[in-house]
Structure formats: C-alpha cells, structure tokens
Amino acid sequence: MAGMLAGKAALITGGANGIGRATALLFAEEGARVAAADLNLEGAEETAAMIREAGGEAIALSVEVSDAEQVEVMVDATVEAFGRIDCAFNNAGIAPINVGNNAKRTHSWSEEGFDRMIEVNLKGVWLCMKSEIGRMLETGGGAIVNTSSIAGLAGLPTSSGYVAAKHGVSG
C-alpha cells in the first residue's frame, strides 16, 4: 500500500474499536504497518484482520496500558514485528461509565473509580510514551500523538476523574 506512511511502523493503543480502529485502518490505507493493541484482544485481532484483508500488514496485541510490564511487551513485540516504531497513537482510555461513576458529581465518585481513571487515562499514556520514546530514539526518532478530550480543556461536573486525567494528557 502506498501513501504518506508507506513503510512506516505504527503502534496504536485502543485499536479494537472506535477512534483507534478508524486510525489503524487509515494508517494502513496510507501504507503503514500497524500494531493494533487493546485490552480487548479479540477486537484488536478484528482490526488487524481488516487491515490484512485490505492488503496491509498488521498484528494484534493485548495490553493493559496501566501495567508497565505489559506496555514494554507491547512495544517490544511491535519492534520485533516491524523493526522499529515510527509513529505511535496512544488512544487507549476509559470513560466514567467504565468505573461505575457515570453521571456522578465529584463527591459521589468512588476513590477506586477515580484511581482507575487516572491509571488508564493518564498513567497509561505516560507509560506508553516512556517506552515508545526509548525505542524511537534507538532507531532515529518518531512521532507520538496522545488522545485527550475536550474534557482536558474544560471541566465537566459529572466527570472529575476523567477531566483530571485528560487535562494531564493535554498538559
């Protein structure tokens, strides 16, 4: 496949569905070799299969982005498959509904739900960048895009943990 990313190796977290899947398919259409990574391995495998069926090159990886060891394994597997990582899209994330805090005001959030939101949506991005940057520097550099949200720019009364995590990503 020819295009703007011809021959490049891309790692996409949250690659099982939504924005991550759409990005993986677009990157592949532009010629990238894609590693679709997600906690939902079945969904990541579906994404990789869609890319291969369209004539591209792709692998699927399972990852819990808040776990440093799993992130290292994901990055190592991508480099093993493609020789390098030229671009990474750190898109894995969860919403308040995933931690039982949907539509709850700050004083009603559980501490466990808040912690999980920060672990995945902020720490997960940081762990991915930490590992990706190290490998990119070994092979001449690369580019990283991190998914945030409008919630990273403006508060929402029912999403305090989500807002805090996404603001941390936006910086």
Residue 51 near residue 23, CB atoms below 8 Å: no
Collapsing DSSP to helix, strand or coil, 46 comes out as helix
Question: Which active-site residues does the annotation give?
Answer: 162
Question: What whole-number distance in Å separates Cα of residue 156 and Cα of residue 103?
Answer: 10
Tokens representing 23 are 């990005």
**Kindly report the CA angle at 15 between 11 and 17, in degrees rounded to 5?**
165
Q: Give 3-state DSSP helix, strand, coil % of the chain, rounded to 5.
A: 50, 15, 35
